[in-house]
């Protein structure tokens, strides 16, 4: 299965035709993030808008997918409806292994279907089916229907959108399997703009593993590190939800639209509380022995007396922050209930929660009223948020359609930009300090996982601009190699440089193993060059006033330090975007 080129399936929805293409570049672009950037540069149009039918929607995997544990992500790449620039979004589930067992390194979809369709691809098949009857249906119904329409188990991945994607909401995600997402920056709207309700990837082939002892021994070593050491045990145990309590203690957990960073009410929504009250089971992405996905339940009385139905909802730190503390909702079941509606609508949970927190404060301040929000939003009132999430997904009126393009877009129209919790996109749940604020605002994906800025804040009080910017640039460089391998970033302790080099070597990617540093620097530069070519100006990014009013464990945010960090990091990003070899 290893090859010195990339095997890419391109599909044009306008003509219903596909083509398998061989592309050079394995030794420089590796896969994942690097391959996605290569493909956008080949098929993308920097100067056309994100919803132009010619724009590609790209899914790319890495050279170690199928060979080693936790190489389980797929990199989605597209021009984003959020900022009309090049963007990446990552998801796990079964998508990566399904592509590997369909004998593909990437899938590129261009064009626009005449009406709503589902695309099914595999090693030897391509099928496009009319699914007009699914347009307007939620993510759950769509998933269930597509499972029946495209039978087959094993490495089969089902990607689909809900009403939010159809309505081209910039918070629309692509849901896959039942509990995973290409969450941020609006990949769901890109599918919506292509009239693409679903994608089924059937991984029906197989491939031989390397002979000899080196590969199986190394596999066992990696597997043991992931399962029998404490490197990843926290992810299986309470999961990322354990961060709720920890960040609240550090005065770094955003509460009620970041009007506070800690609150005694945290005891209602800690990781322990979720586990004690709601946890049913853990799940894992394909090829992952860790299983960090925590599944809780909600139940609903549908008939008197005592007739209940229950549904399963996955939870993590980020969704709990967004629909819990950020909205002042402090009951585990109420939080899960909001998350469930978010899932059905096909919305990104972080963006939705943060946007609705802004809308709530906008009501409090009299900037908007119930006339716009259609429900009387109040911090802590889960029922009103359930309604508001539906309106956001459906784009019920002008207010929700505007809010669904980004909180700052709504604030431009109604006012209230100073308390919009936006750092390049709606904030992640880490009010840890100046380094995180800089890192998310300017980071490539505007994700807390672009770099470890949130972690740096938790360990350092000093204000050394050069040291911080060096850290951000070099940390991004190492993470870019991991996302080009499509490793789960939770496994970054397991997959240190030496381990990655051994893994690549053991399956036959010797040139990549020997040049990891140069390759990761090249991909880092290529991604920035691609982003800048589509309009990104890091110098133009501003940080709303609300963030400068925050007090963390380090004390009040230092505005001068923040400004200097931001402008120095912007300079380094622009340098990175120059001169890609």
Q: Which residues bind ligand SF4 (CB under 6 A)?
A: 70, 72, 92, 235, 284-285, 288, 290-293, 488, 490
Closest CA to 563 of 543, 545, 577: 543
CA atoms of 436 and 429, how far apart (whole Å)? 10
- Per DSSP, 545 falls in state H
Stated length of the chain = 581
For residue 288, the 8-state DSSP code is -
Report in angstroms how near the CB of residue 70 gets to ligand SF4 at its nearest. 5
Q: Shortest approach of ligand SF4 to residue 223 CB, angstroms?
A: 13
Closest CA to 72 of 491, 449, 493: 491
Q: Is the peptide bond before 305 cis (omega within 30 degrees of 0)?
A: yes
Kindly state the smallest distance separating residue 332's Cβ from ligand SF4, in Å.
Answer: 21
Judging by DSSP bridges, how do beta strands 180-182 and 196-203 pair with one another?
unpaired
Phi then psi for 482, rounded to 5 degrees? -60, -40
CA-to-CA distance for 155 and 95, rounded, in angstroms?
8
Nearer to ligand SF4, 189 or 428 (CB): 428
Whole-number minimum distance, CB 471 to ligand SF4, in Å? 24
Task: Output 18 or 183, the one with its CB closest to ligand SF4.
Answer: 183
Radius of gyration of the chain (CA): 22
Q: Which is nearer to ligand SF4, 271 or 416 (CB)?
A: 271
Q: Where are the beta strands (DSSP E) in 248-352?
A: 281-283, 293-303, 307-315
Q: CB of residue 500 vs ligand SF4: minimum separation in angstroms?
A: 16
Considering the complex, state which of residue 118 and residue 290 has its C-beta at the smaller distance from ligand SF4.
290
For residues 186 and 170, the answer to whether their CB atoms sit within 8 Å is yes
Min dist CB 328 to ligand SF4, Å, is: 28
Strand partners, 544: none
Closest CA to 323 of 414, 426, 408: 426
Q: Judge if the upstream peptide bond of residue 454 is cis by omega within 30 degrees of 0.
A: no
Instruction: Find the shortest distance in angstroms from Cβ 567 to ligand SF4.
Output: 35
Least separation in angstroms between residue 268's CB and ligand SF4 is: 25
Going by the DSSP 8-state scheme, the letter that residue 427 receives in this structure is P
Q: 106 vs 285, which CB is nearer to ligand SF4?
A: 285
Copy the structure tokens of residue 131.
Answer: 């699914």
Nearer to ligand SF4, 122 or 429 (CB): 429
> Which neighbouring-strand residues pair with 296?
313
Nearer to ligand SF4 among residue 219 and residue 553 (C-beta): 219
Residue 19 or 224 with smaller CB distance to ligand SF4 = 224
């Amino acid at each position: 299965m290893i090859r010195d080129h990339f095997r890419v399936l391109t599909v044009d929805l306008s003509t219903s035709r596909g083509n398998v293409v061989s592309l050079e570049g394995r030794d420089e672009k590796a896969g994942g993030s690097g391959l996605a950037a290569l493909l956008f540069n080949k098929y993308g149009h920097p100067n056309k808008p994100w919803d132009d039918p010619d724009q590609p929607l790209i899914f790319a995997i890495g050279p170690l997918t199928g060979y080693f544990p936790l190489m389980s992500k797929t990199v989605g790449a597209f021009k984003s409806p959020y900022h009309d620039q090049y963007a990446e979004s990552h998801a796990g589930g079964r998508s990566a292994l399904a592509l590997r067992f369909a004998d593909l390194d990437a899938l590129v979809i261009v064009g626009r279907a005449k009406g709503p369709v589902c695309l099914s691809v595999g090693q030897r098949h391509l099928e496009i089916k009319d699914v007009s009857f699914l347009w307007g249906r939620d993510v759950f119904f769509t998933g269930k229907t597509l499972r029946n329409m495209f039978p087959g188990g094993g490495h089969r991945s089902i990607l689909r959108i809900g009403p939010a994607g159809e309505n081209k909401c910039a918070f629309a995600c692509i849901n896959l399997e039942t509990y995973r997402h290409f969450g941020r920056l609006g990949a769901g709207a890109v599918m919506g703009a292509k009239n693409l309700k679903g994608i089924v990837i059937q991984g029906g082939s197989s491939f031989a593993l390397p002979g000899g002892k080196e590969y199986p021994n190394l596999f066992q070593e990696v597997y043991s590190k992931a399962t029998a050491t404490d490197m990843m045990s926290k992810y299986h145990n309470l999961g990322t939800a354990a961060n709720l309590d920890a960040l609240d203690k550090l005065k770094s957990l955003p509460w009620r639209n970041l009007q506070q960073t800690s609150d005694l009410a945290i005891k209602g929504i800690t990781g322990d509380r979720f586990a004690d009250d709601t946890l049913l089971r853990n799940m894992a992405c394909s090829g992952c022995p860790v299983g960090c996905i925590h599944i809780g339940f909600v139940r609903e009385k549908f008939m008197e007396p005592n007739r209940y139905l229950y549904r399963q909802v996955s939870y993590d730190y980020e969704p709990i922050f967004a629909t819990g503390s950020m909205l002042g909702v402090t009951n585990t079941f109420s939080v899960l209930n909001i998350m469930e509606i978010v899932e059905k609508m096909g919305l990104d949970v972080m963006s939705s929660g943060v946007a609705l927190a802004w809308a709530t404060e906008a009501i409090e301040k009299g900037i908007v009223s119930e006339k716009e929000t259609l429900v009387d939003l109040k911090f802590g009132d889960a029922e009103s948020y359930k309604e508001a999430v539906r309106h956001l997904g459906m784009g019920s009126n002008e207010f929700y359609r505007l809010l669904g393009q980004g909180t700052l877009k709504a604030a431009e129209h109604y006012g209230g930009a100073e308390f919009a919790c936006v750092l390049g996109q709606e904030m992640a749940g880490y009010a840890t300090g100046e380094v995180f604020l800089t890192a998310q605002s300017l980071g490539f994906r505007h994700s807390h996982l672009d770099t470890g800025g949130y972690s740096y804040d938790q360990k350092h009080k000093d204000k050394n601009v050069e040291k911080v910017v060096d850290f951000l640039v070099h940390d991004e460089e190492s993470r870019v190699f991991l996302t080009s391998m499509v490793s789960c970033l939770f496994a970054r302790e397991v997959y240190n440089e030496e381990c990655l080099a051994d893994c690549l070597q053991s399956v036959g990617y010797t040139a990549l193993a020997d040049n990891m540093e140069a390759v990761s620097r090249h991909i880092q530069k290529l991604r920035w060059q691609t982003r800048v070519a589509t309009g990104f100006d890091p110098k133009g990014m501003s940080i709303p006033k609300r963030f400068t009013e925050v007090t963390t464990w380090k004390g009040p945010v230092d505005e001068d330090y923040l400004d200097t960090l931001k402008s120095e990091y912007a300079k380094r990003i622009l340098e990175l975007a120059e001169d890609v070899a």
